[in-house]
Amino acid sequence: MSVSRLSALMLIPGLLLANSAQALDIVFDYRFDRSGWFSEDSSAGLMRREVLQQAASVFSGFTDNLLAIDASAGNSWSVSFQHPSWSNWLEQVTVSNLLVPENSLVVFVGASSFSGSVLGAAGGGNVSAQGSQAFLDTVAGRGQAGALAAVPTDVAPWGGSIWFNSYQPWYIGLDDSGLAAGQPDLLTTATHEIAHLLGFGASAAWDALVQNGVFTGEYASAVYGSAVPVDGVAAHWAYGVEADNLMDPGTVPGKREYLSALDYAALRDIGWQVSAVPEPSTLSMLLLGLVGVFARWRRKQSQRF
């Protein structure tokens, strides 16, 4: 990474935050980290937590007002999702009446070892709720009217889960100067997975803008010059759309990648409010692994609500 690009990386989140009415807060929950990959008792675990916080900060310029999901007498909800430290791919866990603070997403994280090239996976699980119509609307829409529309124009996730493949030889630094050839970068993958939890390639609002293999959102189309080709499962950009997009289907080992102007524009298209849109040349943050399959799985699950 060049020096100029690094400074842009550090600058953008703060710039966006300064103009925000409030900042989107991503709250990591480690209760299902049963392998201790994020253990506070180890320097590596602490560093991994720091890397996650850095990835979350990329999205702090999103200014949507998200209502809290707060169960009460007569109103309850639960969500079942892939265990973030799964011992088999289908292992699920259910959490009931999770408190999701306003303007926050709760993201359960963990890791387990899988001898394959997949770096990580993210999903929003299968939500169910019972109670008043107002409560049901809050769980599904969090005050974002467009998320409740027949053809959704907005997203309002509660959060989700992210699994990291501890089999991989991760680089876990904040500064990428130690990132070696062939090494996957935790910051890059974490940012990519969070973007999926925000609905990139994995929401009804995204689906509504995908037609015939292209993403038709107006902001993304303006950045790209036309509707943007997506991959075979419409969870990412197609390979080769542009170099350096974080939301490509795969990541290049030994390279840190950042949210591109195009990635950012697509998040705007699915309803995220951004107080300032970085110039394409200065965009920062993110990216990732072979997570398309799981992203699609999440879409199917989430639509059962």
CA atoms 77, 82, 86, 89: torsion sign: positive
What is the C-alpha to C-alpha distance for residues 259 and 246, in angstroms, rounded to an integer?
5
Nearest one of 43, 98, 104 to 71, comparing CA atoms: 98
Number of neighbouring beta carbons within 10 Å of residue 251: 23
Does position 291 bind Zn ion by CB under 5 A?
A: yes
- As measured in angstroms, the least distance from the Cβ of 217 to Zn ion is 17
> Which is closer to Zn ion, CB of 142 or CB of 298?
298
> Which is closer to Zn ion, CB of 286 or CB of 291?
291
**Stretch touching Zn ion by CB under 5 A, among 75-83, 261-269, 270-278, 287-295:** 287-295
Give the number of residues written for the chain.
305
Return the residue nearest Zn ion (CB atom): 291
**Stretch touching Zn ion by CB under 5 A, among 81-89, 129-137, 156-164, 291-299:** 291-299
- As measured in angstroms, the least distance from the Cβ of 208 to Zn ion is 19
Does position 56 bind Zn ion by CB under 5 A?
A: no
- As measured in angstroms, the least distance from the Cβ of 192 to Zn ion is 5
Radius of gyration of the chain (CA): 18
> Which is closer to Zn ion, CB of 127 or CB of 291?
291
Tokens of 2: 């060049």
Which strands make up the sheet holding 126-130, listed edge to edge? 92-96, 76-82, 126-130
> Which is closer to Zn ion, CB of 71 or CB of 285?
285
Any long-range contacts for 178-186 (C-beta under 8 Å, 24+ apart)? 179/254, 179/255, 179/256, 180/254, 181/253, 181/254, 182/253, 182/254, 183/253, 183/254, 184/119, 184/251, 184/253, 184/289, 185/251, 185/254, 185/255, 185/256, 185/257, 185/287, 186/48, 186/51
> Which is closer to Zn ion, CB of 137 or CB of 263?
263
> Which is closer to Zn ion, CB of 52 or CB of 291?
291
Q: Are strands 159-165 and 214-215 parallel, antiparallel or unpaired?
A: unpaired
- As measured in angstroms, the least distance from the Cβ of 295 to Zn ion is 6
Query: How many residues line the site for Zn ion (CB under 5 A)?
Result: 1
- As measured in angstroms, the least distance from the Cβ of 85 to Zn ion is 20
Per-residue x/- mask for Zn ion, residues 238 to 277, rule CB under 5 A? Answer: ----------------------------------------
- As measured in angstroms, the least distance from the Cβ of 189 to Zn ion is 9
Does position 195 bind Zn ion by CB under 5 A?
A: no
> Which is closer to Zn ion, CB of 186 or CB of 291?
291
CA distances from 39 to 21, 30, 49, 186 (A): 34, 9, 9, 16
- As measured in angstroms, the least distance from the Cβ of 201 to Zn ion is 6
Q: Report the interface residues with Zn ion, using CB under 5 A.
A: 291
